Structure 1
Amino acid sequence: MNFDTRGLKIMIVEHDRTILEIIQLRLDVAGYHSVMARTGQAAVEALSSFRPAALIVELNLPDMSGLQVLASLNRGSDQCAIPSLLMARQLGAGDVQRAVGLGARDCMTKPFSGAEIMTRIGRLLARATAPAAASVVRV
């Protein structure tokens, strides 16, 4: 399924400037509009005033965990459906379970390739726009 990505806002919550810039560059080249936050608090504040098409959030932020950012989205009923990707250098099974329980649709470890992050974002957005009947997960 192809759909127009121009202008879709993707929020990146990442404290590492290099990773943030790599993801931003990939998104910009693909036609997305990237919005960045370097702390969890900055992300929570920004998310109170706008709704991105997708959220990419680092697990280990300097002021709070990515899980806390996801939990804050669940408090606002209109925000909880944001397709989210949690990333970290190390992800344990418990981290993945908590993230999924808080609404994350995907998790990935660092380092990753630029192509991999774009594939994951494409899947997030495709699932978000797919009809309910077509979003059955096949194992």
Structure 2
Amino acid sequence: MGIILVADDDADIRDVVAFKLGTAGHTVVLAQDGSEALDIALERELNLAILDVRMPGLTGVEVCRRLRREPTTARLPVILLTAQTEENDVEAGFQAGADDYITKPFSPREVGSRVEAVLSRSRS
């Protein structure tokens, strides 16, 4: 199992995702905004980061860009979580280095499946 950062300014979203991942055996670390998420990712060894695109301070896309520039986090898998479904928004997320993109509303089962898929790819 892995250590997963979940960053979202919506406490309900954080709690749902954390519960789903926790019941699957993962350790979950929570952040309320982009700055806190970046600090945690640079300080802790993580296996995956799930970042909401629209957070106060730094957006999830900006956090992803900064993680990709740091040698210690450049290969950290990132899933972006967002209500933005426009093609340009999705493209911006992937250009920033995201490994996957989940749109809201989502099912907890979908999040769990995508997390497992990304983690599996990152281990091979």
Fold conserved (TM > 0.5)? yes
1:67 paired residue number: 61
2:70 paired residue number: 76
Cα-to-partner distance string for 1:43-91 (whole Å, 9 max, x where unaligned) = 1111111131111000000112111110110221220111111011122
Shift of 1:40: 0.4
For structure 1, list consecutive stretches of 5 or more residues without a partner in the other structure: 131-139
Name the amino acid aligned to 1:17: A
For structure 2, list consecutive stretches of 5 or more residues without a partner in the other structure: none
1:27 paired residue number: 21
Give aligned-pair identity as a percent: 27
- Contact conserved, 2:42 with 2:72, CA < 8 A, in 1? no
Name the amino acid aligned to 2:99: R
SS of the residue corresponding to residue 30 of structure 2 reads: strand
Following the alignment from structure 1 to structure 2, what is the Cα–Cα distance between the partners of residues 108 and 48? 23
CA RMSD of aligned residues (A): 1.0
- Contact conserved, 1:51 with 1:82, CA < 8 A, in 2? no
Choose from 105, 109, 118 the match for 2:103: 109
Larger Rg: 1
Choose from 77, 80, 94 the match for 1:86: 80
Relative to the length of structure 2, the TM-score reads 0.95
Following the alignment from structure 2 to structure 1, what is the Cα–Cα distance between the partners of residues 79 and 68? 15
Question: Does residue 122 of structure 1 match 2:113?
Answer: no
Relative to the length of structure 1, the TM-score reads 0.85
Following the alignment from structure 2 to structure 1, what is the Cα–Cα distance between the partners of residues 88 and 96? 12
Choose from 36, 43, 46 the match for 2:37: 43
Name the amino acid aligned to 1:89: A
Following the alignment from structure 2 to structure 1, what is the Cα–Cα distance between the partners of residues 21 and 50? 11
Runs of 4+ in 1 over 4 A off after TM superposition: none
In the comparison of the two structures, how many residue pairs are matched? 124
